[in-house]
């Protein structure tokens, strides 16, 4: 007969070893290496237009073209298009958002949230980001992805905690 306490101890030891090795692997991992094209375009856009990124959309699968929405400190939204390392002049978009509220509520950087979202569907292509607030006022990053089997997925990452709030995928016909 097997001792239940010994089995529990063995399982706990194995779990601790797996967690320690995963933490070490993550510490050595550079999240910016996943999306260098998007990161470069965001950096260029923020150099041209002061504010916070509230959305981006890939215009082609190679990530050489990115449309970026920037919320300026005057609450106006500007669209910038980045293609092959060059950014177009900002174009005013309709509507306003509250810069102070959105800037103050995001505790987790978008780059970190993007890495968390990709962890939900490791074999997926991230297509868009939207930074929004829920009806309760909680900020979140919403990522839309295309999975390798053709399904479309949406992952919402809490901008305060960095945890996945919601994840769903569905087949589009």
Whether 6 is covered by a domain: the verdict is no
Whether 86 is covered by a domain: the verdict is yes
Whether 133 is covered by a domain: the verdict is yes
pLDDT at 36 > cutoff 70: yes
Q: What is the pLDDT of residues 87-141, one digit of tens each?
A: 999 999 887 788 888 888 889 999 999 999 999 988 888 999 999 998 888 999 9
Whether 109 is covered by a domain: the verdict is yes
Distance of alpha carbon 139 from alpha carbon 10, whole angstroms: 41
Domains in the chain, number: 1
Q: Are 55 and 42 in contact (CB under 8 A)?
A: no
Q: Are 52 and 102 in contact (CB under 8 A)?
A: yes
As a whole number, the mean pLDDT across the chain is 80
């Amino acid at each position: 007969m097997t001792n239940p306490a010994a089995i529990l101890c063995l399982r706990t030891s194995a779990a601790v070893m797996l967690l320690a090795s995963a933490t070490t692997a993550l510490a050595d991992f550079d999240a910016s290496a996943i999306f260098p094209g998007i990161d470069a375009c965001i950096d260029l856009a923020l150099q041209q237009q002061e504010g916070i990124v509230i959305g981006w959309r890939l215009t082609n699968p190679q990530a050489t073209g990115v449309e970026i929405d920037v919320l300026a400190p005057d609450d106006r939204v500007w669209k910038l298009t980045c293609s092959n390392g060059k950014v177009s002049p900002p174009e005013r978009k309709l509507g306003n958002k509250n810069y102070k509220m959105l800037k103050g509520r995001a505790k987790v950087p978008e780059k970190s949230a993007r890495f968390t979202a990709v962890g939900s569907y490791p074999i997926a292509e991230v297509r868009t980001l939207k930074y929004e607030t829920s009806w309760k006022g909680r900020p979140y990053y919403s990522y839309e992805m295309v999975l390798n089997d053709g399904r479309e997925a949406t992952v919402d990452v809490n901008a305060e905690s960095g945890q996945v709030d919601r994840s769903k995928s569905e087949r589009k016909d």
